[in-house]
Amino acid sequence: MVIKLIGILIIVVGFLLRVDTLLTVLTAGVITGLISGMDIMSILNTMGKAFVDNRSMSLFVLTLPAIALAEKHGLREQAARLIGSIKAATAGKVMAIYLVLRTIIAGLGLRLGGHPQFIRPLIAPMAEGAIKARYGIDQLPEDLYEEVMGYSASSENYGNFYGQNIFIAASGLLLIQGVFKEAGIAVDLLVMSRYAIPIGIIAVIYGVIQYLYFDRKVERKMKEVNKNA
């Protein structure tokens, strides 16, 4: 019986060894089917049917042309300008404001965000700049630099992860619906999105607390540095 779990093992090993994801998942499916006594035709049938039944998960492809045209005319640059115009006195406040914005953006199902697009060019330097300006220093101590960067990166992840399933046609929700459908259970997208809202709010609260606490830590640390200097 336990041999049926070989598919799970294949996935784990494939992911760990960084084998191509699609190839890993497909191999896991075929091998699991064969070992459990399915013939190759019925495996192809099962996988093909489920793939077609779950096209909803990839319906977002239809949103790409409109996004692509807006990007061509400067969508990302305009978003960057808006974020760049945030006025915040401390590093933590920069991150907190971005976290709130990012959660809302994700909750609207918009494909706008990312570490290369917003954290590296905007949020991280703004947070760093806020500390430099506030304490009149040219360079952050190394451990503090690491902390500012780490927290800046986290604001993108918190907002993206806990905000995305608030959108009723989020690919995460569609995957949930698809998996349950394969098991003969119907679930409602609106219900799922509604229950994602409180979790999104909790995530924002924790993130904001973490960032404001970091501000106080910076304050203490810089006082010490100034005293010693």
State which of positions 113-172 bind another protein (CB under 8 A).
115-116, 119-120, 124, 142, 145-147, 149-154, 156-158, 160-162, 165, 167-169, 171-172
Q: Is 77 in the site for another protein (CB under 8 A)?
A: yes
Q: x/- binding map, residues 87-106, to another protein, per CB under 8 A?
A: --------------------
Distance CA 175, CA 11 (A): 18
Q: Is 48 in the site for another protein (CB under 8 A)?
A: yes
Q: Which of 15, 133, 217, 220 binds another protein (CB under 8 A)?
A: 15
CB contact set of 92 (below 8 Å; sequence gap of 6+)? 127, 151, 211, 212, 213, 214, 215, 218
Contact (CB, 8 A) for 99 and 155? yes
In the complex, least distance from residue 97 CB atom to another protein, rounded to whole angstroms: 17
Q: Is 110 in the site for another protein (CB under 8 A)?
A: yes
Give the CA distances from residue 12 to residues 2, 3, 9, 48, 176, in Å, rounded to whole numbers and listed in that order: 16, 15, 5, 23, 21
Q: Which of 96, 131, 178, 218 binds another protein (CB under 8 A)?
A: 178
Give the CA distances from residue 62 to residues 27, 33, 59, 198, in Å, rounded to whole numbers and listed in that order: 29, 33, 6, 29
CB contact set of 35 (below 8 Å; sequence gap of 6+)? 3, 4, 6
Phi, psi (5° rounding) for residue 218?
-60, -45
Q: x/- binding map, residues 179-208, to another protein, per CB under 8 A?
A: xx-xx-x-xxxxxxx-xx-xx--xx--xx-
Q: Quick one: which segment of 8-16, 86-94, 131-139, 216-224 binds another protein (CB under 8 A)? A: 8-16
In the complex, least distance from residue 100 CB atom to another protein, rounded to whole angstroms: 15
Contact (CB, 8 A) for 99 and 204? yes
Q: Is 16 in the site for another protein (CB under 8 A)?
A: yes
In the complex, least distance from residue 15 CB atom to another protein, rounded to whole angstroms: 4
Read off the tokens for 132: 């430099």
Read off the tokens for 7: 């598919």
Nearer to another protein, 138 or 142 (CB): 142
Q: Quick one: which segment of 25-33, 85-93, 131-139, 216-224 binds another protein (CB under 8 A)? A: 25-33
In the complex, least distance from residue 82 CB atom to another protein, rounded to whole angstroms: 8
Nearest C-alpha neighbor of 122 from the set 159, 89, 82, 65: 82
Nearer to another protein, 191 or 226 (CB): 191
